[in-house]
Amino acid sequence: MAPMRTLTVDIKDQPYPIHIGPGILDRADLIAPHLSQKRVAIVTNTTIAPLYLNRLKTTLAAAGIESIEIVLPDGEQHKNWQTLNQIFDQLIAQRCERKTTLIALGGGVIGDMTGFTAATYQRGVPYIQIPTTLLGQVDSAVGGKTAINHPQGKNMIGAFYQPKLVLADTETLNTLPQREFSAGMAEVIKYGLIRDLPFFEWLEVNIDKIMARSPEALVRVIYESCRNKAEVVAQDEREEGIRAILNFGHTFGHAIETATGYGKWLHGEAVAMGMVLALKVSGTLYQFPASDAVRVTRILDRAVLPIHPPELGADIYLDLMATDKKVEAGRIRLVLLRYLGRAEIQPVDREIIRTTFAQSPLQ
């Protein structure tokens, strides 16, 4: 069995640990020290509840911790005000207090909504992230970004609000459908591309082990991804500068998700396609080498990720990107690759993007 590994997100006012390894759902000793009272509200969904809810409740009960459960419908299409109000309704009905800790048990949607609930319920209550998807474990559960979607844009309504603790139990990935697992790999590959070339090269060598879900490989994948994100977040908690490099592929990806309807493309799938488009712009502005672009598309393909973005037309992409959070003074701020392992944030004129779309696709 792979040993547990721990790292710290070194936020100035509230550093918190991330524990990574198998069997963590059975470790009440990791949770109890972070609770203000022995009562928690577990927020999960209809897919995860049958798999892990009772196990977590049993773990907590053995430590004398009472838990209430809030089970939501599953899917990105439910990441909205209506579902958020279901959480508020049950917290109020159960008379949850400011010291009642919320626990997000699920993927990125559950983590984002639980975090936004925690940021706003009674003006702020503590919460813990227990992500059960690869995407959640390597990205969305770490860093304190919380949000819901709006019909005109993804994650447009939310707050920066840090968890008290993140628990990544690698055994939960054993029940993850292949498509969901691949979606998480988009974010993993992203870290290597934007700031960690040695990690990217390790991924190229070990991608088959990772896709076979080798326990040792998974612990390293999650640890290195979280380390990269934690280092960036510690420098720029509220995305006023360097943290924006974590959005590589996301501005195009969010446009794809919004245009096609939330849920049709998984977030990681849209990010993978967004990275392919960002590489095209990087080639235009930075002369990013075509041979390296091929390396990127090859590893995305080996991770069973789509590499051919939908042909929505330049106007649709540009209109949706213009309402994204990364717009500044009318110019679209894109994260581009100067070279493998080095990302830069660059305001880009719309006409450059339009010209890039007219070029032949990456092979």
The residues that are catalytic are 123, 145, 187, 229, 239, 243, 247, 250, 254, 267
- What is the rounded CA–CA span in Å between residue 103 and residue 94? 15
Contact partners, residue 209, CB within 8 Å, separation at least 6 = 217
- What is the rounded CA–CA span in Å between residue 242 and residue 260? 30
- What is the rounded CA–CA span in Å between residue 69 and residue 81? 19
Q: Which of 273, 246, 132 lies closest to 192, judged by CA?
A: 246
Place of tokens 């590959």: 189
Asked whether the beta carbons of 235 and 242 are under 8 A apart, the reply is yes
Asked whether the beta carbons of 39 and 65 are under 8 A apart, the reply is yes
Q: Which of 317, 200, 159, 203 lies closest to 253, judged by CA?
A: 317
Token pair, residue 223, equals: 């640890």
- What is the rounded CA–CA span in Å between residue 354 and residue 337? 18
